[in-house]
């Protein structure tokens, strides 16, 4: 959500209740035994970082340092807020709004590091700290937002905003501050403020439990194969990875497949053993839904109820109405309008795809009905038959390091940005690769880190974040320290990591977030980088994916890892021709999850729901076919129950509208047209959340985006 103030607190609370989840154990960050006194005296958080670009000195940070760092940081933040609230001088933009923005530097430093690492380097000790401090941080945020004297000062400044002659960024900061207080309950009476505090505390606690349960479920399941015949159809690279997983898990001489995506998706795509595919599919789609200690049904239901109660307390019809007020969609009705426009054509296309797979399967002698666990297997066969395109043929051309060079090539062609590997900078895990980033004039931009491989201590998925954002509010331009985290299978032996087409696209996607963080050029920390509405923040990352399939880019990096041969033109054409293949499935499974999210959060009752029955009814209402499960079922929908996307998962397709519309400009003017690239950089990437996103977009495009470009791209526009 965009309207936030006090970046350190907002960040801490958001991460405490969201990103600090879905983690496991096993970390290189050893929980060294340090006395309380030593933890304070030697604490690296209490001194200015002397590292280049102020990269956190990871090798010096121990588990024991976090508690005293959190304690002192919170004390400093509270003291700063009290000083602002009790200031006897007349409220001004500088002594109130700007002073709040500049408070909490230590808390920012601690939370950026702790919640950055717990996402990929979690330990039981870190999880315990998260559980301990999440409610404290939530309570502290409430103390700030519900501070009457502080709100009185903020309101006084806000009411004279038209006479203050503020620039655009200052005006945005003021608007965000005032709305942040109002939306956080500043206008409530004391009794309702107490209720709000309790609701926030419960929601924060349940969010952490949901994520921990999900990771435990994901890590617990293993399909152990001891008969080599059961590996039929699987590529050698997948078999080798399964053998390595088996060895790690104590099953020497066998093969283990898990519900982690790098294992799950290839198995469902290639395994000829239908019964084992069914087992894997059931395990994946029933995470958190096994009536055991890690069950998430009750948590999801209670969180939906608590969110509704909070929305009602704050004067909103539903939680979705509360959230979307600050998104570009503005209302659930607008979000539904977009989704419903796409849903019908997507579902019809999906039904045709089922028919195509059924016909193909029957031509091979299959007797029976295509089921959900057959989709990946038969869609791959149909794709190969229709386009003569086999994923196993394309993978050798998407070697990980080469693909990363393709990303860098694209950035250099667009904006003149270059990357130099720096092995001397601190890093939090051996898998991390660090780059110094330079602009086209040779000036330094910041630091970019990549962390590519799956490991038990890392939550699933892919993301971008920062150990430090770019800002200028203290006079100097603080350079960003940005990182991308992904979950590719680790290399086995001397073999390189070969990516599927989708995995390569994800690399470009996440870099799209990273380049926005790196090219950020703003004054206030809370407005820079990716500080954007949920339904707009995915736009720059989605645009970045478009360059990957352009022949000019492919020939730079898509080279066979053994022969060095550039990907053949005919193979590129097959990839492009198949671009609309299986879009019915891809769009429908995503939209089903987006609609499920809105269904949970447009509930107009606090009554607890039976999560499975609620979900089933929601899917029946929209007519979802049995061959497709929502991309995320309720019990493992981490985006909305342990992440920041509640009521906002639709945002990916909303952002897609801007992406498709933007790509029309590049296609028309040239994919590396410097005038377009410069305008895109200035009006989209550099500006972050300093202004209303639609206004910035219109400066770039000259108009609002046309949704038809998205439908046409997906092959869903009626002819």
Give the sheet arrangement for strand 432-438, strand by strand. 418-421, 432-438, 444-453, 481-488, 463-468
Token pair in block for residue 168: 């655009």
* Residues facing 488 on adjacent strands: 453
Q: Establish if 103 belongs to a structural domain.
A: yes
Number of domains making up the chain: 3
Q: How far apart are CA 694 and CA 73, in angstroms?
A: 36
Q: Which one of 340-344, 460-464, 539-543 scores highest in mean pLDDT?
A: 539-543
pTM of the model: 0.86
* Res 21 pLDDT > 90: no
Q: Establish if 443 belongs to a structural domain.
A: yes
pLDDT for position 41: 64
Are residues 12 and 147 both part of a single domain? Answer: yes
Q: Where are the beta strands (DSSP E) in 400-526?
A: 418-421, 432-438, 444-453, 463-468, 481-488
Domain boundary at 187, 205, 237, which? 187
Question: Is residue 478 classed as helix, strand or coil in its secondary structure?
Answer: strand
Q: How far apart are CA 555 and CA 719, in angstroms?
A: 34
| Residues 219-239: tens digit of each pLDDT | 999 999 999 999 999 999 899
Domain boundary at 557, 576, 607, which? 557
pLDDT for position 40: 61
| Residues 522-562: tens digit of each pLDDT | 999 999 999 999 899 999 999 999 999 999 999 999 999 99
610 vs 137, 616, 618, 628, 642, CA distance in Å?
A: 31, 10, 12, 21, 19
Token pair in block for residue 650: 């639709």
Confidence of residue 712 (pLDDT cuts 50, 70, 90): confident
Mean pLDDT of 251-256: 97
Q: How far apart are CA 719 and CA 255, in angstroms?
A: 48
Are residues 26 and 169 both part of a single domain? Answer: yes
Backbone angles phi, psi at 158, to 5 degrees: -60, -40
List CB contacts of 639: < 8 A, sequence separation 6 or more.
597, 632, 645, 646, 649
Q: Establish if 292 belongs to a structural domain.
A: no
Q: Establish if 58 belongs to a structural domain.
A: yes
502 vs 43, 395, 464, 575, 584, CA distance in Å?
A: 42, 10, 17, 11, 16
Are residues 174 and 252 both part of a single domain? Answer: no
* Res 27 pLDDT > 70: no
Q: Using the structure block, give the residue that is written with the tokens 């509010």.
A: 473
Higher model confidence: residue 45 or residue 135? 45
Q: What is the CATH number of the domain that holds 80?
A: 1.10.1370.40
* Res 39 pLDDT > 80: no
Whether 264 contacts 631, CB under 8 Å = no
Helix residue spans in 558-702 (DSSP H) = 569-577, 583-601, 611-622, 638-641, 651-669, 674-680, 693-701
Q: Using the structure block, give the residue that is written with the tokens 């590519």.
A: 452
Q: Establish if 712 belongs to a structural domain.
A: no
| Residues 479-505: tens digit of each pLDDT | 999 999 999 989 988 889 999 888 999
473 vs 103, 423, 517, 521, CA distance in Å?
A: 11, 30, 17, 11
Are residues 15 and 150 both part of a single domain? Answer: yes
Confidence of residue 32 (pLDDT cuts 50, 70, 90): very low
Which DSSP letter does residue 306 get? Answer: H
Question: Is residue 223 classed as helix, strand or coil in its secondary structure?
Answer: strand
Backbone angles phi, psi at 227, to 5 degrees: -105, 115
| Residues 316-325: tens digit of each pLDDT | 999 999 999 9
Token pair in block for residue 347: 């579902």
Backbone angles phi, psi at 88, to 5 degrees: -80, -15
Token pair in block for residue 390: 């086999």
What is the sign, positive or negative, of the torsion defined by CA atoms of 27, 29, 30, 31? negative
Are residues 490 and 407 both part of a single domain? Answer: yes
| Range scoring the smallest mean pLDDT among 72-81, 361-370, 379-388, 709-718 | 709-718
Look at the chain and count its residues.
Answer: 719
Q: Establish if 451 belongs to a structural domain.
A: yes
Which DSSP letter does residue 471 get? Answer: B
Are residues 553 and 404 both part of a single domain? Answer: yes
* Res 7 pLDDT > 70: no
Domain boundary at 161, 187, 213, which? 187
Average pLDDT of the chain to the nearest whole number: 92
Q: What share of the chain is helix, strand, coil (3-state, %, to 5)?
A: 60, 5, 35
Q: How far apart are CA 633 and CA 593, in angstroms?
A: 7
User: Exactly one of 98, 209, 478, 510 is catalytic; which is it?
Assistant: 510
Select from 618, 614, 653, 602 the least CA-distant residue to 346.
Answer: 653
Confidence of residue 203 (pLDDT cuts 50, 70, 90): very high
The strand pair at 481-488 and 444-453 is best described as: parallel
Are residues 266 and 142 both part of a single domain? Answer: no
Q: Establish if 72 belongs to a structural domain.
A: yes
635 vs 414, 434, 676, CA distance in Å?
A: 41, 36, 43
Q: Establish if 526 belongs to a structural domain.
A: yes
Are residues 265 and 183 both part of a single domain? Answer: no
Backbone angles phi, psi at 690, to 5 degrees: -75, -10
Confidence of residue 28 (pLDDT cuts 50, 70, 90): very low
| Residues 166-190: tens digit of each pLDDT | 999 999 999 999 999 999 999 999 9
Mean pLDDT of 464-491: 96
Whether 293 contacts 212, CB under 8 Å = no
Are residues 100 and 171 both part of a single domain? Answer: yes
Q: Which domain holds residue 167?
A: 7-187
Are residues 426 and 550 both part of a single domain? Answer: yes
Token pair in block for residue 344: 């019908």
Select from 520, 575, 570, 555 the least CA-distant residue to 405.
Answer: 555
Q: Is 217 a catalytic residue?
A: no
pLDDT for position 38: 54
Q: Using the structure block, give the residue that is written with the tokens 């670009």.
A: 53
Work out the number of other CB atoms within 10 angstroms of the CB of residue 572: 19
Q: Which letter, b or e, does each residue of 125-156 get, where b requires 16 or more Cβ atoms within 10 Å of its Cβ?
A: bbbebbbebbbbbbebbbbbbbbeebbebbbe
Q: Where are the beta strands (DSSP E) in 154-308?
A: 223-225, 255-257
Whether 418 contacts 408, CB under 8 Å = yes
Token pair in block for residue 17: 């209740």
Three-state SS sequence of 63-100:
HHHHHHHHHHHHHHHHHHHHHHHCCCCCCCHHHHHHHH
pLDDT for position 576: 82
Are residues 112 and 160 both part of a single domain? Answer: yes
pLDDT for position 460: 81
| Residues 410-431: tens digit of each pLDDT | 999 999 999 999 999 999 999 9
Confidence of residue 116 (pLDDT cuts 50, 70, 90): very high
| Residues 644-659: tens digit of each pLDDT | 899 999 999 999 999 9
pLDDT for position 714: 82
pLDDT for position 467: 98
Are residues 233 and 111 both part of a single domain? Answer: no
Q: How far apart are CA 63 and CA 85, in angstroms?
A: 34
Q: How far apart are CA 97 and CA 90, in angstroms?
A: 13
Whether 549 contacts 394, CB under 8 Å = no
């Amino acid at each position: 959500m965009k309207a936030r103030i006090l970046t350190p607190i907002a960040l801490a609370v958001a991460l405490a209740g969201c990103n600090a989840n879905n983690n496991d154990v096993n970390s290189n960050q050893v929980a060294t035994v340090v006395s309380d006194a030593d933890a304070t005296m030697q604490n690296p958080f209490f001194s200015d970082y002397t590292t280049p670009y102020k990269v956190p000195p990871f090798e010096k940070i121990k588990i024991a340092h976090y508690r005293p760092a959190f304690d002192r940081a919170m004390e400093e933040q509270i003291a700063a807020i009290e000083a602002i609230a009790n200031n006897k001088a007349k409220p001004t933009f500088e002594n109130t709004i700007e002073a709040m923005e500049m408070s909490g530097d230590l808390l920012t430093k601690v939370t950026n590091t702790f919640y950055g690492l717990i996402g990929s380097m979690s330990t039981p000790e870190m999880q315990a700290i998260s559980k301990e401090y999440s409610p404290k941080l939530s309570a502290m945020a409430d103390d700030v937002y519900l501070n009457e004297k502080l709100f009185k000062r903020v309101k006084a400044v806000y009411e004279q905003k038209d006479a203050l002659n503020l620039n655009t960024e200052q005006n945005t900061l003021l608007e965000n501050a005032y709305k942040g207080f109002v939306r956080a309950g500043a206008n409530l009476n004391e009794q309702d403020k107490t209720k709000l505090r309790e609701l926030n505390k419960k929601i924060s606690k349940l969010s952490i439990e949901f994520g921990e349960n999900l990771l435990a479920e994901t890590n617990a399941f293993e399909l152990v194969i001891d008969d080599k015949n059961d590996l039929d159809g699987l590529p050698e690279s997948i078999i080798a990875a399964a053998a390595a997983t088996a060895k790690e898990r104590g099953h020497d001489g066998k093969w283990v497949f898990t519900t982690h995506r790098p294992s799950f998706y290839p198995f469902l795509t290639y395994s000829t053993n239908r019964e084992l595919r069914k087992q894997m599919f059931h395990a994946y789609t029933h995470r958190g839904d096994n009536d055991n200690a890690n069950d998430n049904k009750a948590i999801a239901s209670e969180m939906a109820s608590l969110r509704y109660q909070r929305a009602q307390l704050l004067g909103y019809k539903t939680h979705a109405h509360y959230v979307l007020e600050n998104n570009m969609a503005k209302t659930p009705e607008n979000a539904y309008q977009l989704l419903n426009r796409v849903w019908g054509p997507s579902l019809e296309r999906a039904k045709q795809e089922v028919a195509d797979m059924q016909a193909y399967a029957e031509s091979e002698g299959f007797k029976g009905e295509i089921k959900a666990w057959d989709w990946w297997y038969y869609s791959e066969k149909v794709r190969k038959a229709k386009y003569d395109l086999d994923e196993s043929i394309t993978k050798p051309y998407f070697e990980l390091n080469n693909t990363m060079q393709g990303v860098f090539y694209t950035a250099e062609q667009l904006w003149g940005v270059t990357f130099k590997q720096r092995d001397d900078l601190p890093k939090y895990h051996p898998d991390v690769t660090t780059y110094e980033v330079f602009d086209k004039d040779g000036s330094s931009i910041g630091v970019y880190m990549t962390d590519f491989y799956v490991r038990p201590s890392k939550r699933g998925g892919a993301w971008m974040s920062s150990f430090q954002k770019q800002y200028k509010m203290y006079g100097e331009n603080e350079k960003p320290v940005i990182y991308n985290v992904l979950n590719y299978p680790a290399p086995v032996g001397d073999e390189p990591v070969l990516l599927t087409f989708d995995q390569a696209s994800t690399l470009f996607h996440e870099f799209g977030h990273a380049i926005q963080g790196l090219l950020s050029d703003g004054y206030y920390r809370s407005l820079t980088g990716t500080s954007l509405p949920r339904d707009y923040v995915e736009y720059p990352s989605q645009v970045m994916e478009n360059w990957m399939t352009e022949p000019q880019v492919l020939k730079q990096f898509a080279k066979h890892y053994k022969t060095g041969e550039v990907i053949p033109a005919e193979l590129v054409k097959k990839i492009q021709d198949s671009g609309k293949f299986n879009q019915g499935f891809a769009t429908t499974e995503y939209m089903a999850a987006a609609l499920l999210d809105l269904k949970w959060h447009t509930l107009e009752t606090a009554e607890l729901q039976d999560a499975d029955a609620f979900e089933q009814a929601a899917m029946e209402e929209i007519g979802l076919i049995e061959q497709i499960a929502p991309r995320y079922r309720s019990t493992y929908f981490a985006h909305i129950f342990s992440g920041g996307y509640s009521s906002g998962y639709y945002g990916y397709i909303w952002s897609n509208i801007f992406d498709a519309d933007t790509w029309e400009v590049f296609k028309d003017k040239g994919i590396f047209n410097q005038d377009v690239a410069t305008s895109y950089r200035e009006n989209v990437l550099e500006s972050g959340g300093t202004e209303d996103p639609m206004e910035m977009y219109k400066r770039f495009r000259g108009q609002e985006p046309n949704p038809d470009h998205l439908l046409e791209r997906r092959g869903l526009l009626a002819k």
